[in-house]
Amino acid sequence: MILFEFSSWYLISDGNHQCFQVLLPQSFPRIFLEIMDRHIPLHALPEEIQKMSPEEKVCKYCGVSYLILHEFKAMEEKVKAMEKELKFYQGSIEREKRLQEKLQSLSQDFEQYKIDNESKIERIQDARMQLKSQQNEFQRIQKELSHMQHELNIKHRQLQVFSQRSLEYNYFWNKTLSLLTFTKRELTSIKKEVYDNFQNWTLLKGEVFLQIKSISETALTEIDRLNKSLTVSQRSKLCLEEEMKNLKLLSDAAILRSQQIETSKQQEVSLQARCHEFQKEVLDLQCQVEGLGLKLQRAVTELDNCKELLMNKSNEADECQRKLRKLKFEAIISESRHTRLLKEKEDSLMNCQQMHKVLQEQLTIKEKQEEDIKRRVNLAEKELEITKSILNQTKEEVVTLKNERNLMLISHQKNMEQLQETLRQKLLSDDNWREKIEAELAKERARHLIEFEEQALLFKEEAKLELDIEKEKHQEIIQKYKKEQEELQTKISDLIAGATRDLRLEVTNLEEKLHESHIRYATESESKAKEIENLKSLVAEFESRLKKEVDSNDSLSEDLRKEMQQKSDELEKVMLAQTQLMQQFNQSQEENTLLQETVRRECEERFELTEALSQAREQLLELRKLSGSLPLSPCSLGKGSLTSCAATVSNQRERGLGRLNSEKGARVPSLYGVSKPTPAPASEKPKRAGSSGLPVLPQTHPPRGQSPSVNETRRRLAIMLRRRLSQQ
């Protein structure tokens, strides 16, 4: 049964949508409201009433909804639900703050990882640069070594050639010395024979003298030639000796250099072993970087999960906003569905509590994951410190090697300077020795020339005498001598040809060996070049891998930064939406309080009006009864009471009924029964006035001005509706 109140008339409708008007006592509303407070509706409102427009549900006179109890109960349910949701959202704010703090800590850790990674990359680049410099130095040393080996080979070959030449010249010198000794012996024997056979030579003196002249001239020319060749051979011998000394010095220097090269090779082997160790360490670091990348991917997945949670929360916030908007318009609707909505909200509360437990479990899992990440980070930091110490050790070793190299270079330079000084001193001493030898040779030559001239003069004088005598005797001997001389010349030419052949054969052999050594050197250089190219390709591959890893780490860090910014923006939006929801909720609470106060005031005013009207009716009935029986004096005495009653009625009208009359000119029927008595004919009016002597009560019209409480409530409701419409 549904009741619609119209002042003292009540419209009652049953479930079949049939309405009938019933006049009920004035105390019925209070009793009905008390019953309705205790009453819990069993059935929901029919769909037709629910589908009715809000204008049809609202009273046209007072502006209050007919289903106000239902609306208040629904509002209370919604307010309770909103309070629960607000509590839940307050907890979510704290969780979001914790998540923000965790995200900030994770971002700081990520930045620290990035800084550590950059420092690692810089250190690796420095190590690579040092490796490259060491490789360049090693290549330069190898080139110098190969160059020195080549020079050594050339010098060895030159030494061999000069030694062979010196042997040949010694052989020729020995031959010439033997020939000269043989000629001297023959000359002495000839002198003896000539001296013994001087008497026999007198006859053939002129002819022999001429022959001896020619022979002496040829001998002189040959002797001069031999002397010149002797001087040339001596000079070449001296040059060869000097070259031998220089070559010995160079060989000693080359031996020292070879020893240094062997030491450098050993250092190179140790450096290569260290390079392999460094490569292994680089691979370990790459594995660690890959592990960190996997950790970052896990963190990204966790961040994606957080994003999904944030999106769900934002969707829930949007749904809450929609619910709030609906609540703003449903604040005018009835309160009959209060119990059912309470049950539904309790179920939703249980679900929310379950969700809360699930979220707490997820948070504990995430905290455990964060602890694992921190442990891994600590392990990575320890490994980084170990790598830093290893790198510092390698740097110190490189510095020590550089210092040793500089010391070796300084010592080599000092040795070279000492050798140069010794060479200069020897060269100066050789120059003095040459000058002394040349002076002695010049003296000996002058002495030999003087002796030769003296002997030639004596020989000429004796020969002239003896040749003429012994010309005929010694013709056969002269012929034999000529034959022997020719044979000697042929032998000398044969020996020279054989020596030249041997030299040519040795030169061809040496050229073949040179060609073979060139081929070997070319093959070795090609193999070394291939090894260098392979090393360069490996270094380039490592650099490209490192660059790719650095780029991937940078891209991941940029993505994480972007996601962090997006999350911070989303969190700010959620916080703003939450503040707006709180403001709207506070506004709705204020509006509810205002509505409750207005309804309470209107109900109180209605009760006061009904009481005042009942009092006025009773007084009027008493006055009517007394007007026919009482005389004028008591009537005049009762004037004060009537005026006081009229004043009270007029005041109550001004307070309560003026509001009803101002709204569309509506009038209460009971008041009209009191203020407007049944009209009498015009002839009876003066009689009644004259007989009774009572003053005629003026018709109390309601004042035109509205009461301040109703105006304020209407104004506030209009402002609230405008605000909601503007927010929508």
The arithmetic mean of pLDDT across residues 376-395, rounded, is 79
The helix/strand/coil state of 704 is coil
pTM to 2 decimal places: 0.20
Whether the predicted pLDDT of 640 surpasses 70: no
Residue with tokens 């609540």: 327
Would you give the DSSP letter of residue 694?
P
425-439, 534-548, 660-674, 701-715: the lowest-pLDDT one: 660-674
- Tell me which residue of 617, 695, 605 sits closest to 652, measured CA to CA: 605
- CA distances (Å), origin 714, targets 429, 609, 711, 719: 133, 21, 5, 9
Query: What integer pLDDT is reported at residue 518 of this predicted model?
Result: 76
Cβ-in-10-Å burial (0-12, 13-18, 19+) of 201 comes to: buried
| Long-range CB contact pairs, 299-307, < 8 A, 24+ | 299/106, 299/110, 299/373, 299/560, 300/556, 300/559, 300/560, 300/563, 302/366, 302/369, 303/103, 303/560, 303/563, 303/567, 306/99, 306/103, 306/567, 307/563, 307/566, 307/567, 307/570
Whether the predicted pLDDT of 91 surpasses 50: yes
Mean pLDDT for the chain? 71
Whether the predicted pLDDT of 10 surpasses 60: no
Confidence of residue 288 (pLDDT cuts 50, 70, 90): confident
Instruction: Tell me if 369 sits within 8 A of 253, measured CB to CB.
Output: no
Confidence of residue 648 (pLDDT cuts 50, 70, 90): very low
Confidence of residue 86 (pLDDT cuts 50, 70, 90): confident
Tens of pLDDT, residues 681-699: 333 333 333 333 333 333 3
Confidence of residue 204 (pLDDT cuts 50, 70, 90): low
Tens of pLDDT, residues 295-327: 777 877 777 777 777 787 777 777 777 777 777
Q: CA–CA separation, 616 vs 605, rounded Å?
A: 16
User: Among residues of the chain, what percentage have pLDDT more than 70?
Assistant: 72
Query: What integer pLDDT is reported at residue 62 of this predicted model?
Result: 75
Please name every residue paired with 668 in a beta bridge, in sequence order, or none if there are none: none
Confidence of residue 41 (pLDDT cuts 50, 70, 90): low
Residue with tokens 């080979």: 153
Query: What integer pLDDT is reported at residue 710 of this predicted model?
Result: 59
The arithmetic mean of pLDDT across residues 52-60, rounded, is 73
Largest pairwise CA distance in the chain: 236
Q: Read off φ and ψ for residue 599, nearest 5 degrees.
A: -65, -45
Instruction: Tell me if 127 sits within 8 A of 394, measured CB to CB.
Output: yes
78-87, 284-293, 611-620: the lowest-pLDDT one: 284-293
The helix/strand/coil state of 327 is helix
Whether the predicted pLDDT of 19 surpasses 50: no
565-579, 627-641, 681-695: the lowest-pLDDT one: 681-695
Q: CA–CA separation, 239 vs 250, rounded Å?
A: 16
Whether the predicted pLDDT of 702 surpasses 60: no
Cβ-in-10-Å burial (0-12, 13-18, 19+) of 65 comes to: buried
Tens of pLDDT, residues 671-684: 333 333 333 333 33
Whether the predicted pLDDT of 701 surpasses 80: no
Work out the number of other CB atoms within 10 angstroms of the CB of residue 449: 11
Query: What integer pLDDT is reported at residue 727 of this predicted model?
Result: 66
Cβ-in-10-Å burial (0-12, 13-18, 19+) of 584 comes to: buried
Cβ-in-10-Å burial (0-12, 13-18, 19+) of 640 comes to: exposed
The arithmetic mean of pLDDT across residues 514-539, rounded, is 79
- Tell me which residue of 305, 316, 361 sits closest to 103, measured CA to CA: 305
Query: What integer pLDDT is reported at residue 219 of this predicted model?
Result: 67
The arithmetic mean of pLDDT across residues 236-250, rounded, is 76
Q: CA–CA separation, 204 vs 431, rounded Å?
A: 53
